[in-house]
Structure 1
Amino acid sequence: MEAAPRKASAKVKDGRVFNAINVTLLVIFTLIIIVPIWNVLVMSVSSGPGMAEGGVALWPKGFTLQNYQKVFADESIWRAFFISVSKTVLGAGTHVIFCAMVAYGLSKRNLVGRGFYTKFGVFTMYFGGGMIPMYLLIKSLGLLNNFWVYIIPGLLSYYDVIILMNFFRDVPASLEESAKIDGANDWTVFTRIFLPLSKPALATITLFSGVSQWNDFMTAKMYISDKNLYPLQMKIYEIIVESQTKALDFQGGVDLLVQTSSKGVQLATIVITTVPILMIYPLLQKYFISGMMAGAVKE
């Protein structure tokens, strides 16, 4: 009779130890993520002399907003912000719509040539032409120094198509059959039934595509020389290069005060470019979790 209470007590004790270890690991993991972000924010509001003294870690030295004032005083930063927002919204939106249309067609078993299209799509996931052929292709399409170079090459990702195909296959066939009996065509079925029922997957892909578009730097670096088309990421690159050049102009090496002041401007720009993504993620979080769990549980 005493064995059962002992087993129950042992299970409770093991559960508490397990929870304590989990909480400890999660706290450590959270600190590893938060502390560097906080440090960047702290240094972005620290003065040049304060940063020159060193020791800026968890609290600013010589609190100032001059770094942010310098960033916002540059008119080109607003143009770069507009370009980044435009290409992120338009790029993510068109990417999701295009991938969803392709996935809807490939999810139909009666599609002629479905096997060939599927194999060809998988092939593109593993093999590509390379940087130089891609540049020549972009040039031949007339997309150099063109805003659409941010949008057109990123319209399709077969990885996202596969995710949406699997999601569309889980939609009950009876819904489509009943809609077609009522006179609906494929476009109506796609827009009125499949898309509304696939919000979690669509939101997840939108988030991934949007973050990729927002952080994209290489597209502007390789294909854009017109500064009026620079996104924020390219503007950050410009600020870093210019600040390093100014710091090295001083005779005898790098002037520490100038270097730390320019670093504050760099960090302020990084904070400004990060905030929009941090604001958007909570709005899509519930769909993001549902989309990541889609297909994980089979009933």
Structure 2
Amino acid sequence: MKDSAGEKLFYMFNYCVLFVVGLSCLIPIVYTLSVSFSNADAIRSGLVSLWPIGFSLESYKSLISGTPVIRAFGNSMIITVIGVSLSMVFTILAAYPLSKKYFYYTRFFTLAIVFTMLFSGGIIPTFLLMKGLGLINSYGSIWLVGLVSAYNMLVLKSFLENIPAEIEEAAKIDGCGEFALLIRIILPLSLPVIAALTLFYGVHYWNLFMTVLIYIQNVEMHNLTVMVQQMVNSQSLLIEMNKLDSNEMTDVTPEGIKSAGIMVMILPMILIYPLLQKYFVKGVMIGAIKG
């Protein structure tokens, strides 16, 4: 069946809008990348647009040698890797029993979890709780606050509900217990949604900002996002961190170092997302259609 003229016009309009939106997202990244690889004179004169002028790595050298970017990158890796691992374990342990009809009070616990999506204790009570637990200035506070996302848990629960019960019954007949069933049968069948949720959690933990500022007062424990934000907002701090006087900054500029810091911060997500993009789309659509 051929598309009508109106449908073709509608599709063409959609493509044009999506193309413009895509460019609006891509151009700032390309410009920042160009500034980070351009020499200081080109940046100062405002000649840099979408292509580096006078290719130079001085911004990255100054970023690495004069700022704690390596330490901040390591902190971000620790927060992300351990945080994603803990969140996935507890999300699976929450979603699996709630996906079973024979689990007692399934509806009650599900509604209680959904309630947290609408209402929360607030920042101050949560901070007092973390302080009472002795988790201030500890990554434990960050991991505990965002341990399980109610949305991610419901997505996984919806997926697990669609796994045929006959598979589980056959495994139990063969002597599989609940944990063996979960690890050897359910999880291998759930790899697409697990990959999608891992990406969700990974982006969340990597981009943490306010949570780190609230619970981590030790500057040496700050992650890459906080460090880059401080660089962007404080040029004087940037000059001091690089031990450069404003009159002696001939090889690098604050704008170049800021751009290099931003690229270092977003590079891991740019590299990982294309690998998991198909799982990301599938994870978003899970639960939209049943049957």
Q: Within the alignment, does 1:158 sit opposite 2:127 as a pair?
A: no
Bigger Cα Rg: 1
Q: CA deviation at 1:24?
A: 3.1
Q: CA deviation at 1:289?
A: 2.6
Mapping 1:35-184, distance limit 5 Å:
35-74=27-66, 76-184=68-176
Local SS of the residue matching 1:142:
coil
Aligned to 2:24, which of 20, 32, 44? 32
Q: Call closer, same or farther: CA 1:17–1:129 in 2, change over 3 Å.
A: closer
Q: Call closer, same or farther: CA 1:271–1:14 in 2, change over 3 Å.
A: same
Q: Within the alignment, does 1:217 sit opposite 2:209 as a pair?
A: yes
Deviations 1:49-92 (A, max 9, x none): 32222243223344321111111114622121111112111111
Match of 1:251 in 2: none
CA contact (8 A) 2:192 2:282 kept: yes
Alpha-carbon distance between aligned partners in 1 of 2:288 and 2:131, rounded to the nearest angstrom: 43
User: TM-score when scaled to structure 1?
Assistant: 0.85
Aligned to 2:181, which of 186, 189, 196? 189
Alpha-carbon distance between aligned partners in 2 of 1:168 and 1:278, rounded to the nearest angstrom: 30
User: TM-score when scaled to structure 2?
Assistant: 0.87
Alpha-carbon distance between aligned partners in 1 of 2:238 and 2:178, rounded to the nearest angstrom: 61
Local SS of the residue matching 2:253:
helix
Provide the aligned length of Structure 1 versus Structure 2.
Answer: 284
Q: Which amino acid aligns with 1:66?
A: E
Match of 1:282 in 2: 274
Q: Call closer, same or farther: CA 1:246–1:170 in 2, change over 3 Å.
A: closer
Alpha-carbon distance between aligned partners in 2 of 1:239 and 1:150, rounded to the nearest angstrom: 23
Local SS of the residue matching 1:235:
helix
Q: CA deviation at 1:37?
A: 1.0
Q: Call closer, same or farther: CA 1:240–1:35 in 2, change over 3 Å.
A: closer
Alpha-carbon distance between aligned partners in 2 of 1:106 and 1:20, rounded to the nearest angstrom: 44
Alpha-carbon distance between aligned partners in 2 of 1:18 and 1:62, rounded to the nearest angstrom: 44
Match of 1:229 in 2: 221
Comparing 195-204 and 163-172, the one that deviates more:
195-204
Aligned to 1:268, which of 253, 260, 263? 260
Identity of aligned residues (%): 36
Match of 2:243 in 1: none
CA contact (8 A) 2:59 2:257 kept: yes
Q: Call closer, same or farther: CA 1:294–1:57 in 2, change over 3 Å.
A: same
Richer in helix (by share): 1
Match of 1:3 in 2: none
CA contact (8 A) 2:231 2:238 kept: no
Alpha-carbon distance between aligned partners in 2 of 1:77 and 1:131, rounded to the nearest angstrom: 29
Q: Which amino acid aligns with 2:193?
A: A
Comparing 96-105 and 106-115, the one that deviates more:
106-115
Local SS of the residue matching 1:151:
helix
Alpha-carbon distance between aligned partners in 1 of 2:102 and 2:289, rounded to the nearest angstrom: 27
Cα RMSD (Å) of the superposition? 2.6
Alpha-carbon distance between aligned partners in 1 of 2:287 and 2:204, rounded to the nearest angstrom: 24
CA contact (8 A) 1:199 1:287 kept: no
